[in-house]
Structure 1
């Protein structure tokens, strides 16, 4: 008897889902166990607080007793991490079942509590894998968002307490695109850049952030006999609008801004339906002059953004320098 392929597919999906749930459950129980071991070590350590080296002695002793029977999971370093885990997350009920022990190990490297809270909220909301969380931490996502937003707004969006209404709350500057595999010293065409984005679309969507979905590439539009092509089109369900990307591998010019403004106007007048918000245009460029952007666009502009791309992960020093520069600009504007 031939069974329906749909039935077989559904049963396979149920099996896969059950296996995934079982793995998650086991990993969460393991994480909670590590938390309780960390708590026990910490409390025992406090009993011997008159000895400065008691904590190190205790962990070394435990490792010698446990590792031969239970393996490397109870090495000196792992037991030390369990103690740090308890001290960093002292409330057991606050542990998230969606986060694995490996997720928490990454979070233990972060000293700033707000920064940790942001990555926890985003990982839970977006179901980030360990690799995805690590990539976002290494690309300094939290710091990049601070360049155009305040800390409270970033955390509120991450916690789903507010829905973003301003493009600056979502579009990052710079966008870090190290996953494209393009070398910054090499020459490449815009079509090569676009193809690299399509090839690595999942990673590009992760870098763009919440609410983005891919719509089209090289979208053809006709204007009284002339043809134009929009590089990339996305839709953002949080902003409820189309987001058009134009790729420029050169330094941004005012002509580039004018071209993108034409595309935005077209989408607002032809493609957008009544319930949707105004279209946003993003110029993804190799370099830009902020003054050119400022004076090429109306003062009340909220539809055209310029985002510089980087083909390498930024250093913390680079981002701190950018944040200081942004603060200086804001202070001058307030004077």
Structure 2
């Protein structure tokens, strides 16, 4: 008499196999990271021992490459050996190496041009469990510089190390947001519904762009007010801010009517959805463009409404520096 195995039992066994494979890959990759760190350490120590020769470090690496590369492959070329030395110097304590980071993670971190950036991205990647691909996207979208443009340097680093416990919406919500993963062209014909559908389709990437602590709640959330129905484009919750976050999408330039409508939605959530232990609801108007002066005049000071522009492409370094300079100039004018 034959019996059929329960599907749940089979799935459990499959899950165990896949988990074991994943753990094995992680273990091997971490061992590789440790190997490269130790090679870098020995190169650096040998280099220091021959400090009477200015070019001794280069001599060591070239000689090692000639000896090792024919036997062990391109992982021991001059360029790679130099990277291992750089790896040790950037991360001199072996116990501080992250077990969840692959060598690709560390190569991305080593490509950064300052210790502050390395520190920031390392902490964020570990805290958010970013894959190497996600870390690469955040670096390429200049997350550090964009946050720096809207806050001072110490605040950015404090937020990365979770020292800043009194977070405000502006500490977490980016302006602008980069939505290049949607594949939409800046001058193409599309509507708010296309933008919304794209964000839902690429929800993981959008959550990554939104920042820390966001989780998806609802799409086209219906609210009923005395016979009239209204629909909120997207509803999220942020565990760090401990509040609901409502997002309205706008293909065109933001107007004061758009801000007023979003304020109504925020008021509704504060009065009928928010629990007593939660913080006031935040509203984000994700728009193609905005008049900063109009937004400031329309909204009261310390408003929970934020108008954030979106970009459909990665900004270049030149564009980013221009934005940063413009932001600093504007801040200086306000102080004067």
Task: Sort the TM-score into its range (normalised by shorter chain).
Answer: over 0.9
Partner of 1:28: 30
Structure 2 distance, partners of 1:99, 1:154, is 22
- Deviation at residue 197 of structure 1 after TM alignment: 0.7
Partner of 1:70: 72
Partner of 1:323: 324
Structure 1 distance, partners of 2:223, 2:171, is 29
Partner of 2:333: 332
Structure 2 distance, partners of 1:271, 1:261, is 15
The 3-state SS of whatever aligns with 1:147 is: helix
- Deviation at residue 122 of structure 1 after TM alignment: 1.0
Structure 1 distance, partners of 2:287, 2:165, is 28
Structure 2 distance, partners of 1:196, 1:234, is 16
The 3-state SS of whatever aligns with 1:320 is: helix
Partner of 1:238: 240
Equivalent runs, 1:214-293 vs 2, <5 Å: 214-293=216-295
Equivalent runs, 1:1-335 vs 2, <5 Å: 1-163=3-165, 165-301=167-303, 303-335=304-336
| Contact 1:284–1:306 (CA under 8 A) maintained in structure 2 | yes
| Contact 1:157–1:164 (CA under 8 A) maintained in structure 2 | no
Q: Which moved more, 1:49-58 or 1:149-158?
A: 49-58
TM-score after normalising by structure 1:
0.95
Q: Which moved more, 1:131-140 or 1:163-172?
A: 163-172
Distance change >3 Å, CA 311–CA 114, structure 1 → 2: same
Distance change >3 Å, CA 157–CA 273, structure 1 → 2: same
The 3-state SS of whatever aligns with 1:242 is: strand
| Contact 1:216–1:234 (CA under 8 A) maintained in structure 2 | yes
CA deviations on 1:21-68 (whole Å, 9 max, x unpaired) are 222122111111111111111222234444444333322221121112
TM-score after normalising by structure 2:
0.94
CA deviations on 1:268-309 (whole Å, 9 max, x unpaired) are 1122222221111100000011001000011232x1000000
- Deviation at residue 217 of structure 1 after TM alignment: 1.1
Query: How big is the alpha-carbon RMSD for the aligned residues of Structure 1 and Structure 2?
Result: 1.6
Distance change >3 Å, CA 202–CA 178, structure 1 → 2: same
- Deviation at residue 164 of structure 1 after TM alignment: 5.1
Q: Which moved more, 1:32-41 or 1:1-10?
A: 1-10
CA deviations on 1:83-111 (whole Å, 9 max, x unpaired) are 11112222222211111111111111112
Count of residues in correspondence between the two structures: 334
Which stretches in structure 1 are left out of the alignment for 5+ residues?
A: none
Which stretches in structure 2 are left out of the alignment for 5+ residues?
A: none
CA deviations on 1:124-153 (whole Å, 9 max, x unpaired) are 111111100000000000111112222222
